[in-house]
């Protein structure tokens, strides 16, 4: 449990760049470096987490912690990965209310590091993924669809289309390697988790309406935002704006200031909710908003994955998994194009730094901590 906590705490302190970068950091830490899970298991977990609503990187972290040492370790993994970002976002809210806003320009170097890490992970996953006739078409097609149609449900639709292609067009293989995935979550907890997921969607709006209390209103708004968003942190922005700004809880300038800060913080973008909760109702609001925006992720992971463990080994389901993995890789490729690359590379100098960091990782196998230091100081070395 200590190993899980401190490993995820370290990642929570250095994982800049948003959800796509987090997936790359997880891949390097748990597949390549620590070898907690295999390449196949990682890609399968990623594909399913992309399918579920909520923050994919946080759900993937919960899954990895659970596989490592049970469902309690899954909770510990989330806490370690998310705690630094929560504290930083609440701290930013305190500074903003005190009219003391720190200069975050230096964070641009860390965005370049994130871009290089994501590019390296995509290249590695492409090389290690299974060769298939439809592979390049599905990856490129998924990336293009996700780039052109940036709606809230686009990723879900792409995953469903990929699943259909895998089911109807992929040839069923009888010699597929067995991949061991065992979620030590009791069936009782799994069924209760799924039940509570749907119950709270209907119960919280009723409690909000009949009680009129701000605490129930905050819980309802942030729970629905965490339960109904597909595509991760960037897609949750319009949902939260609708819940927070249009209800008059927060001004648009304060809302956008917090979202800009969230882009610069390590850890999950969903901790933007911690900032919003603090701005709405102090520390109590921060606790409520954080708990309820992430609660659907826990309920879905602990409710769905024990069932997935039972159905995943059917031969036809394995072809569906392969197809979904190709689509998930395409979704990562589109996320690398925008917002990861477009929000970090603004000039020829930025492009030079990105290419240099990427080359150092590919050809010289430079460790991540050194890449992080080089990226951090790169904005201060800009001669232009």
Please give the distance of CA 26 from its chain centroid, rounded to a whole number. Answer: 10
Residue 136's pLDDT is: 93
Rounded to an integer, what distance in angstroms lies between the CA atom of residue 283 and that of residue 357? 40
Radius of gyration of the CA atoms of the chain, in A: 20
- Answer for the pair 118, 302: CB distance below 8 angstroms, yes or no: no
Give the count of beta carbons closer than 10 Å to the beta carbon of residue 52: 18
The domain tally of the chain equals 1
Residue 176's pLDDT is: 46
Rounded to an integer, what distance in angstroms lies between the CA atom of residue 199 and that of residue 176? 39
Rounded to an integer, what distance in angstroms lies between the CA atom of residue 19 and that of residue 25? 10
pTM check: above 0.85: no
299 in a structural domain: yes
Q: Torsion angle, CA of 149/152/153/154, rounded to 10 degrees?
A: 20
14 in a structural domain: no
327 in a structural domain: yes
71 in a structural domain: no
90 in a structural domain: no
- Give burial (CB, 10 Å; 0-12/13-18/19+) of 253: exposed
> In angstroms, how far apart are the furthest CA atoms of the chain?
64
> Is the omega angle on the peptide bond into residue 337 within 30 degrees of 0, that is, cis?
no
138 in a structural domain: yes
Rounded to an integer, what distance in angstroms lies between the CA atom of residue 336 and that of residue 146? 11
Where does residue 17 fall: left (phi above 0), alpha (psi -120 to 50 degrees), or beta otherwise?
A: left
Residue 105's pLDDT is: 61
206-263 pLDDT, tens digit per residue, is 999 999 899 999 999 999 888 877 655 655 666 677 788 878 898 877 887 777 677 6
185 in a structural domain: yes
Domain that holds residue 232: 104-380
- Answer for the pair 3, 36: CB distance below 8 angstroms, yes or no: no
In the block, residue with structure tokens 């922005």:
237
95 in a structural domain: no
Residue 16 DSSP SS3: coil
Rounded to an integer, what distance in angstroms lies between the CA atom of residue 209 and that of residue 219? 12
Residue 218's pLDDT is: 94
Question: What is the DSSP secondary structure assignment for residue 268, as one 8-state letter?
Answer: -
Flag residues of the chain having pLDDT under 50.
176-178
Residue 74's pLDDT is: 93
């Amino acid at each position: 449990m200590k190993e899980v906590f401190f490993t995820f705490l370290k990642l929570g302190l250095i994982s800049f760049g948003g959800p796509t970068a987090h997936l790359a950091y997880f891949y390097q830490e748990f597949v390549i470096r620590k070898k907690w899970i295999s390449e196949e298991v990682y890609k399968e977990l990623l594909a399913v987490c992309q399918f579920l609503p909520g923050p994919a990187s946080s759900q993937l972290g919960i899954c990895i912690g659970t596989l490592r040492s049970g469902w309690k370790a899954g909770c510990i993994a989330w806490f370690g990965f998310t705690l630094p970002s929560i504290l930083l976002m609440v701290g930013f809210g305190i500074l903003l209310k005190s009219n003391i806003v720190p200069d975050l320009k230096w964070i641009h170097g860390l965005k370049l590091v994130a871009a290089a890490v994501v590019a390296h992970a995509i290249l590695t996953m492409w090389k290690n993924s299974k060769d298939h006739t439809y592979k390049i078409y599905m990856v490129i097609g998924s990336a293009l669809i996700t780039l052109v149609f940036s709606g809230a449900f686009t990723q879900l639709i792409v995953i469903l289309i990929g699943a259909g292609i895998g089911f109807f067009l992929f040839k069923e293989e009888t010699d597929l390697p067995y991949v061991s995935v065992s979620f030590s979550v009791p069936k009782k907890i799994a069924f209760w988790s799924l039940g509570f997921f749907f119950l709270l969607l209907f119960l919280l709006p009723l409690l909000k309406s009949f009680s009129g209390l701000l605490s129930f209103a905050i819980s309802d708004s942030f729970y629905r935002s965490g339960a109904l968003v597909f595509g991760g942190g960037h897609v949750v922005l319009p949902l939260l704006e609708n819940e927070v700004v249009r209800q008059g809880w927060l001004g648009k300038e304060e809302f956008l200031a917090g979202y800009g800060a969230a882009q610069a913080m390590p850890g999950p973008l969903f901790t933007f909710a911690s900032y919003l909760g603090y701005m709405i109702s102090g520390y109590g609001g921060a606790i409520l908003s954080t708990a309820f925006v992430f609660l659907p992720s826990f309920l879905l992971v602990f409710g769905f994955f024990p069932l997935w463990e039972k159905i995943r080994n059917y031969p036809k389901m394995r072809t569906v998994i392969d197809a979904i993995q190709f689509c998930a890789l395409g979704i990562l490729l589109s996320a690398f194009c925008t917002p990861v690359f477009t929000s970090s590379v603004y000039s020829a100098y930025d492009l030079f730094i990105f290419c240099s960091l990427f080359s150092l990782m590919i050809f010289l196998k430079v460790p991540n901590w050194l890449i992080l230091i080089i990226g951090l100081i790169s904005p201060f070395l800009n001669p232009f």
